Structure 1
Amino acid sequence: MASVESILQFIVDRPGATANEIADELDMAANDVQSRLAQYIDAGKVKKDKKRIEGGREMLVYFPGQSLVNEVDGVKRIVTLAKRPRPPVADSERATPSEFTFGFFSDGSLSIGKGNKDIRLTRAETSQLLEFLDCINIEKIAAG
């Protein structure tokens, strides 16, 4: 069974995950997730919210509190594991390394650069961007 530390790390790495997603990834039963997180929820280190899914059902989703993010090793894995294959990008569509750069930092910020322009997003802005990108149907866009 997964340790509480691995569950907490997963929530920091993938905010908004459901108990089923956590259980699937950590090879444990979904009903164990809530019980193992109870003291952290009571302490405010983990926040839970309800998310409406298809069919009108609500599921609990978990988010890290700032104190939990500070306690965890300080390295937040922003990139999530892909569940679907990505369409190949033609070489002519790829940017050369000098044209386009990006980087994730341990404080949760993101830097994006193209040419002589550079944007640095805060942790909150990075989270908003990733939530937005996660909602996009990449296959539909890439096929078009």
Structure 2
Amino acid sequence: MNVRKLKLRHAVLFALIVLLTAWYAATPSVVIHYPKEATDELRLVWDTQHQIHRERMLPGEASSDVGHLFPDEDFFMVFFWGPIKGHMRCIDITPKRWATLDIYLTESGRVDINKTSPAIIERLKKCEGEPDPFRH
């Protein structure tokens, strides 16, 4: 094989790897942390632009989802959670490109405003018609 073709293949492969790495790094993500001191198992629902993902989370675990790299004006990301038997809480999340938002819950399942960064708290909104996830 010709040296020029080999160099071209390596350059194309390198460019592809750089592009995929940048795409991965730029995609916003959200991670919810549940303390190991908690006692209840939580049920979770991620609704990211109508892509719904349900799961359960035990104390000490974390759950995550990713947003869109190029969100349109109708983009939304909503996270519902609560004990298996009990009321669900809800927050509307505005993800940030090139960042991972780490949201911490308290043992009782509220958003922990002491552990979660104030810059991240600003990106969270109470869902309309739902109880306040920061206080109840």
Instruction: Give TM-score scaled by structure 2 length.
Output: 0.25
Higher Rg? 2
Instruction: Give TM-score scaled by structure 1 length.
Output: 0.25
Structure with more helix by fraction = 1
Structure possessing the higher relative contact order (Cα contacts under 8 Å, 6 or more residues apart) = 2
Structure with more strand by fraction = 2
